[in-house]
Structure 1
Amino acid sequence: MRNNWKKALIAVFGATLLLSACGTSSGGSTSAGEKEKVYKIGVTQIVEHPSLNAAYDGFKKALEDAGIKAEYDPQIAQGDPTANTTIANNLVSSGVDLIFANSTPSAQAVASATKDIPIVFTSVTDAVSAELVESMDSPGGNVTGTIDNHPDAIPNTLKFLKEELGAKKVGMVFNSGEANSRAQVDAVKELLKEMDMTVVEASVATSADVKQATESLIGKVDSLYIITDNTVVSALESVVSVANEHKLPMMVGEFDSVKRGGLAAYGFEYYDIGYEAGQMAVKILKGESKPADLAVQVPQNLKLIMNEDTAKALGLSIKDEWKAEFSE
């Protein structure tokens, strides 16, 4: 009888352990749930235009592909510096896990607002000159990301303007208050000194100024070069209309501007640099790396694309070597 009692007690004790183990297993699912943490990502973007939007799409896809669950708080400054600063401060005070800064002004604003929250940028031309990082290889702070400035893009564009289009006076419309743009214009001017070509500048403060600034170049230039200036690109159709009216060939800084009427660009997909920025964010969120240790990345796969309709409207004969890819 006593043996039966002992057996019963053991059976009850075993069942208790089994239930306890099930409880531990349930606790394990809570642990697994922690792995499924939903991160809060703040997003700041200076203006709305296709290239920046594509970079944002690429960023989100990289996190999705890595299995990162995230809630995004996207805010667009619409080119307003005051709104840009306000957005930065709001994102910092909201306690996000990471900030995705899409453009140079956006990145500068959030970098000034916090030294603690990780910041990953893209669509930035010169991260060092913009004082976002100490160096490309060793960012050194809470900021890193991907730039939109391939080292061969500007030289190839200027060579095309001179050798293929016979340009001598290049008109450039840009926002001089944007560090991204000033750096590109200065690089163009420096290179053109060696090519017996000159730049004629037209500065704007807002997208509303773009058409008038472009018109001010008529009669002074034989071509246009529209760099990756957020203010101007957001109003690119104004430049295209002036260029078309006066039969001015217009080189641009990125592919979406070709699709919108620019003649050609040496560039890359902004989706790709956004995706690469997203991959960097994944490493930071998983605790595998810190921004200070993640080298700033340069875009890959530079290539020429052309707008065939624009080329035909300008009376240009399409050479075989130009036909690597045409815009749709």
Structure 2
Amino acid sequence: MNKRLMSVIAIIVAFLAVAFVMTNNPNPTAVAKKKNYVPTVGILQLVTHPALDEIHRGIIAGLKSQGYTKNKIKIDYQNAQANQANLKTMSQQFTNENADLTIGIATPAALSLAKTANGNNPVILAGITDPAGSGLVKSAQKPGGNITGTSGDSPLEQHLAVIKQVVPHAKKLGIIYTTSDHGGEYNAKNMAKLAEAAGYDAKLYTISTTNDMQQVAETMASQVDVIYAPQDNGVASAMKTLINITNKNKIPVIPAVDTMVKDGGVATMSVSQYNIGYQAGIMAAKVLKGKETATYPVKTITQGDMVVNLKQAQHLGIQLPESMVKAAESKGEVIK
């Protein structure tokens, strides 16, 4: 009886040993299959615009820097062209094709992806202002779920300093944002608080869609000395319309990002949209490799470079400070 018992114990011990070895040293075929697996990443962009296009370009470069080159990843890129129905359909499309991870460029795109993912597959934010306030994460330091990424918070105090330098005698500041853009509203209202504290008479103006810009811009240009255009997708898309109106009234526009300066803004301290995307791409790659989104802090990009539009300044009869121009020449961009 003792011999039989010892035999049974020996068999159990041998079984457990084999199981332990297999658990810690997976089947070579399974490992090879995992190594050869090509993940699918869905990228959803709200609308075509130079700033968002730069974020997209940065994402691809960030993924590539981590080894996800053309043959190592499948990228499904979709552009909703500012259509809410498209956002929903495209988000669902990623789910239907079992995308391993999705990336949202602009807050509405990220919100749509988050809703569709429903706490399951990872979602990476690319340049989302105030992700906690948008309800996308619990906090920037501890996202707490399936979502993390990059935040492109505007350096508002630096933008206010640019306004003071460009239009030193201005008293009335107009600030415009899109009612459906949480990031734009967040930046606009925070700028209004800063401006009021600095002694400006700050007034907020809103558009519901880009179609509203002409009428709102005409009203605003007749009431203010200078206009601040925050990081807002609707305002950015209608920037040329805004500039057409403000130029007629000789009202300078200080925008949030470099692409808006190229569209007719006078100057700004611009955070690189490409870098925002690049960092998001790196984060996406690390999540694909196993990093947990719940404990992966949101990376906030706030370091900006001076960008000036000398042609626009000249058109408005503004002499930009020499120090500002030199800063743009040394580490930034000068548009002539």
- The residue aligned with 1:61 is 61
What residue number does 1:12 align with? Answer: none
Which sections of structure 2, spanning at least 5 residues, go unmatched? Answer: 1-26
CA offsets per residue over residues 103-162 of structure 1, 9 Å max, x none? 011111111221111010112110110011111111101000111114xx1112123323
Q: Tell me, yes or no, if structure 1 residue 71 matches structure 2 residue 71.
A: no
Return the match for 1:99 from 89, 98, 102: 102
**What residue in structure 2 maps to residue 146 of structure 1?**
150
Counterpart of 1:327 (choices 305, 324, 334) is: 334
Matched, 1:228 2:235: no
SS in 1 for 2:220: coil
Secondary structure of the residue aligned to 2:173 is strand
What is the deviation of 1:266? 1.3
Equivalent position of 1:315 in the other structure? 317
- Residue 162 of structure 1 contacts residue 168 of structure 1 at CA under 8 Å; is this kept in 2? no
Where 1:279 maps in the other structure, the secondary structure is: helix
What's the secondary structure of 1:79's corresponding residue? coil
Say which SS state the counterpart of residue 127 (structure 2) adopts.
Answer: strand
Q: Hey, what's the Cα distance between the residues in 1 that align with 2:200 and 2:137?
A: 33
1:57/1:274 contact within 8 Å kept: yes
Contact 2:46-2:87 at 8 Å conserved across structures: yes
Letter in 1 for 2:139: S
Compared CA separation, residues 233 and 46, structure 1 to 2 (3 A): same
Deviation at 1:192, TM superposition (A): 2.0
- 1:104-143 counterparts in 2 under 5 A? 104-114=107-117, 115-143=119-147
Aligned partner of 2:91 among 88, 91, 103: 88
Give ranges in structure 1 of 5+ residues lacking alignment.
1-26
Alignment of 1:175 with 2:178, yes or no, is: yes
Answer whether contact 1:43 1:72 (CA < 8 A) is retained. Answer: yes
- Aligned-partner Cα distance in 2 for 1:244–1:212: 15
Task: Give the corresponding residue for 1:159.
Answer: 161
By how many angstroms is 1:303 displaced?
A: 2.2
Q: What code does the residue aligned with 1:64 have?
A: K
Q: Tell me what 2:299 maps to.
A: 297
Q: What SS does structure 2 have at the residue aligned with 1:111?
A: helix
Say if 2:55 and 2:276, in contact at 8 Å, map to a contact too: yes
For the 8 Å contact 1:47–1:231, the answer to whether it is kept is no
Q: Deviations over 1:194-222 (max 9, x none)?
A: 11212223221222222222112122111
* Residue pair 1:119, 1:142 contacting (<8 A) in 2 also: yes
The alignment covers a number of residue pairs equal to 299
Q: Select 1:185's aligned residue among 185, 188, 210.
A: 188
* DSSP 3-state at the match of 1:183: helix
**2:97 and 2:173 mapped to 1: Cα distance?**
45
Distance verdict in 2 for CA 1:95–1:169, change over 3 Å? same
Q: What SS does the corresponding residue of 2:228 show, helix, strand or coil?
A: strand
Q: State the distance in 1 between where 2:93 and 2:201 align.
A: 43
TM-score normalised to structure 2 length: 0.84
Displacement of 1:29 in angstroms is 9.3
Q: Which amino acid aligns with 1:134?
A: K
Contact conserved, 2:152 with 2:302, CA < 8 A, in 1? no
- Other structure's SS at 1:216 match: helix
What is the Cα deviation at residue 318 of structure 1? 2.8
Contact 1:55 1:122 in 2 (8 A): yes
Cα displacement (A) at 1:164: 4.0
- What's the TM-score once normalised by structure 1's chain length? 0.86
Deviations 1:13-50 (A, max 9, x none): xxxxxxxxxxxxxx979955642432111111111101
Indicate if the aligned counterparts of 2:255 and 2:265 stay in contact, CA closer than 8 A.
yes
Q: Distance in 1 between matches of 2:204 and 2:282?
A: 37
Cα pair distance change 1:209/1:197, threshold 3 Å:
same
Give the counterpart of 1:279 among 282, 285, 296. Answer: 282
Contact persistence 2:162–2:267 (CA under 8 A): no
- Tell me, yes or no, if structure 1 residue 249 matches structure 2 residue 256: no
What is the percentage of aligned positions where both structures have the same residue?
28
The CA distance in 1 between the partners of 2:193 and 2:302, in whole Å, is: 24
Find the residue that maps to 1:203 and give its secondary structure. strand
SS at match of 2:241: helix
Q: CA deviation at 1:284?
A: 0.5
d(CA) in 2 for partners of 1:129 and 1:185? 14
